[in-house]
């Protein structure tokens, strides 16, 4: 899959909204909602922002061979259990999507896909990486062609934060012990197991750590490649992406490395305590809408922020309409 630099949204729309809101008492009273409204206007290409009318969550399930090391508070079959809940219309993602007015697509193609334990072997081959990357792009095209005006990536997978820490440590030259968080809520003993796995994984790829796609094929999985393709293609199609958890945030960072300019189409719904999550948002110049520290996954943290974005657009629209009527 070829990547090209992504064209940024026109800032004239953001500036128009920001200036108009700054010129009124009601606009100033919106606080940070005003800057969110300005961003929404820019990605919508409008001088008056509107709520997202067809937000679409895309949740992808995966697995990691390294999870067999016992480095998560979750059992290794937890991903399959969560997948069953989603298929039945349950789980945090469906609940959050219903409340936020979004619809959801669940991709379970990679739930049982074989992946190597990254501390001793590659996760997947370059060919599997490329195929999953293209699949994510195809899903983005399908959703956008069907009318989606906001993409919300989510994930399911035991060991996801181990992968996140390994990728973060590799690309930022951060020591393993500083790249690792508590993930699903692990204790000190499990943290040591996780630290050793991340250390060994980073050591394996040290000789080619500037080769983005090769590192990701070695350390991630097809579900991660899918998310990278989904995010990169959405940005290329001028469709904004709402990021909520550490795994999609890592995929967003990789998408930006491969297709510079992606970050202009991103907004962070929330942030967790994972060092990599905090680091990626800083690298992408993203300030989270909420600080929920949700570790639920499935895109639930991002979906929790969606009503705030729509509120920002609604309130800004009212203020701008009032200003327009007064000038007539």
Q: What is the pLDDT of residues 239-276, one digit of tens each?
A: 999 999 999 999 999 999 999 999 999 999 999 989 99
Task: Quote the pLDDT of residue 291.
Answer: 87
pLDDT in tens, 77-127: 888 899 999 999 999 999 999 999 999 999 999 999 999 999 999 999 999
Q: Say if residues 149 and 54 touch (Cβ distance below 8 Å).
A: yes
Angle between helix 300-327 and 32-44 (nearest 10): 90
Task: Quote the pLDDT of residue 173.
Answer: 95
Task: Quote the pLDDT of residue 326.
Answer: 53
What domains appear along the chain, each with residue ranges and CATH number? 53-307 (3.40.50.10210)
**Rounded-to-integer distance, Cα 286 and Cα 303, Å:** 17
pLDDT over threshold 60, residue 325: no
pLDDT in tens, 37-76: 999 999 999 999 999 999 999 999 999 999 888 877 777 7
Residue count (the chain): 328
pLDDT over threshold 60, residue 328: no
Give the range among 68-72, 118-122, 202-206, 216-220 with minimum mean pLDDT: 68-72
Question: Which of 99, 80, 100 lies closest to 88 in space, CA to CA?
Answer: 80
Average pLDDT estimate for 188-200: 90
Tokens 């035991």 locate to 158
Percent of all residues in the chain with a pLDDT value above 90, rounded to a whole number: 74
pLDDT in tens, 300-314: 999 999 999 999 999
Within 10 A of 5 (CB to CB), how many other CB atoms are there? 10
pTM of the model: 0.94
DSSP 252-282: HHHHHHHSTTGGGGEEE----S-HHHHHHHH
Q: Say if residues 113 and 60 touch (Cβ distance below 8 Å).
A: no
Q: Parallel, antiparallel, or unpaired for β 241-243 and 103-107? A: unpaired
Q: Fill in the DSSP letter of residue 8.
A: P
């Amino acid at each position: 899959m070829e990547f090209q630099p992504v064209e940024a949204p026109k800032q004239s729309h953001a500036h128009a909204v920001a200036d108009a809101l700054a010129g009124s008492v009601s606009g100033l009273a919106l606080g940070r909602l005003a800057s969110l409204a300005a961003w929404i206007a820019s990605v919508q290409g409008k001088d008056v922002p509107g709520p997202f009318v067809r937000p679409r969550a895309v949740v992808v399930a995966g697995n990691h061979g390294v999870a067999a090391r016992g480095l998560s508070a979750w059992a290794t079959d937890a991903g399959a259990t969560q997948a069953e809940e989603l298929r039945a219309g349950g789980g945090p993602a469906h609940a959050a999507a219903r409340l936020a007015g979004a619809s959801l697509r669940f991709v379970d193609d990679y739930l049982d896909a074989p992946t190597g334990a990254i501390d001793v072997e590659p996760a997947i081959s370059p060919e599997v990486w490329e195929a999953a990357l293209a699949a994510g792009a195809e899903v983005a095209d399908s959703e956008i062609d069907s009318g989606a005006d906001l993409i919300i990536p989510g994930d399911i997978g035991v060991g996801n934060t181990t992968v996140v820490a390994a990728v973060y440590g590799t690309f930022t030259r951060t020591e393993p012990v500083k790249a690792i968080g508590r993930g699903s809520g692990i204790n000190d003993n499990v943290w040591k197991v996780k630290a050793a796995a991340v250390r060994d994984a980073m050591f394996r790829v040290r000789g080619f750590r500037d080769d983005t796609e090769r590192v990701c094929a070695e350390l991630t999985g097809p579900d991660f490649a899918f998310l990278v393709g989904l995010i990169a293609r959405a940005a290329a199609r001028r469709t904004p992406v709402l990021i909520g958890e550490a795994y999609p945030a890592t995929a967003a960072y990789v998408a930006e490395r491969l297709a510079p300019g992606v970050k202009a189409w991103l907004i962070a719904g929330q942030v967790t305590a994972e060092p990599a999550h905090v680091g990626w948002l800083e690298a992408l110049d993203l300030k989270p809408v909420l600080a929920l520290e949700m570790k639920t996954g499935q895109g639930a943290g991002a979906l929790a922020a969606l009503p705030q974005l729509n509120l920002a657009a609604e309130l800004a629209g009212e203020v701008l309409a009032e200003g327009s009527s007064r000038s007539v």
